[in-house]
Amino acid sequence: MGVVSEFAQTADLSGQVAMVTGASQGLGQACARHLAACGAQVLCIARNAEKLAETVEAIVSSGGQAIAKSCDVSSRESVKELFNQVQDQFPKLEILVNNAGITRDTLLPRMTDAQWDEVIQTNLTSCFLLCREASRIMMSARYGRIINMASVSGLIGNPGQTNYSASKAGMIGLTRSLARELGKRNVTVNAVAPGFIESDMTRALGDEMLKEVKKRIPANRLGSASDVSATVVFLASAGASYITGQVITVDGGMTC
């Protein structure tokens, strides 16, 4: 049975194994579903096993292939165990999407150590841990695609998000440095930096605030999860083989 896809942009990822962190909801779920729609077998990673099951069910019911793996990606021990399990089950890993992330917003004078540490650990340290493990597999295979989910906040900053913006800026620096390290092994490393994307969080801003937000966006609308996942799919595809070390903004022109 073929894959039933709601996503516009496609690529042939048949036979490839993709790992997506934060796959239980939002952008991570959209990326997992889009990659599966293109033929990849997707390892869906998150802490919440119940929500992960929903992602896997959505993929499988559409004719795709997916497996759920519960993991605290901020934990060195959990990530190491995850990759031990993956290598026991799968001979290869072609695509890694580091999407897991959290926010703990407040102005810096009121920010606690815990709010700083939790965001840096979940957003940036997890990216380092996953990239380190995946890069070993990809270097050995002399092929791989690593896509790190950054944010326009990592490029231009955002009041009340010094911890989040720092973590995303760190991901961008990691991306560019790792691209230089892995390029000769046919492994590309890129970052995607979404702007305002339709979600529960943006809907909570209210209609008036959203009107003001849209005035700052030349496209005059919020982005959709599929706008972001289409960019991820392209970067994972053969067509992006000469693109590495780049930050692709998906923001409707907000930062242009």
Active site residues: 164
Assigned token pair, 147: 């896509």
Residue 200 lies in domain:
17-250
145's CB contacts (< 8 A; 6+ apart) are: 94, 95, 96, 187, 188, 235, 236, 240
**Domain-embedded: residue 1:** no
SS3 content of the chain, % helix, strand, coil (to 5): 50, 15, 35
| Residue 156 in domain | yes
| Residue 83: CATH number of its domain | 3.40.50.720
Render each residue's pLDDT in the chain as its tens digit; 256 residues: 456 566 665 799 999 999 999 999 999 999 999 999 999 999 999 999 999 999 999 999 999 999 999 999 999 999 999 999 999 999 899 999 999 999 999 999 999 999 999 999 999 999 999 999 999 999 999 999 999 999 999 999 999 999 999 999 999 999 999 999 999 999 999 999 999 999 877 787 788 888 888 999 999 999 999 999 999 999 999 999 999 999 999 999 999 8
Is 124 among the domain residues?
A: yes
Instruction: State how many domains the chain has.
Output: 1
Q: Looking at the domain assignment, is residue 5 inside a domain?
A: no
- How far CA 152 is from CA of 16, 67, 120, in Å, comes to 29, 31, 17
For residue 81, give every residue at least 6 positions away whose Cβ sits within 8 Å of its Cβ, in sequence order, or none.
Answer: 71
What pLDDT, on the 0 to 100 scale, is given for residue 1?
Answer: 40
d(CA 156, CA 19): 29
Residue 84: its pLDDT value, please?
A: 96
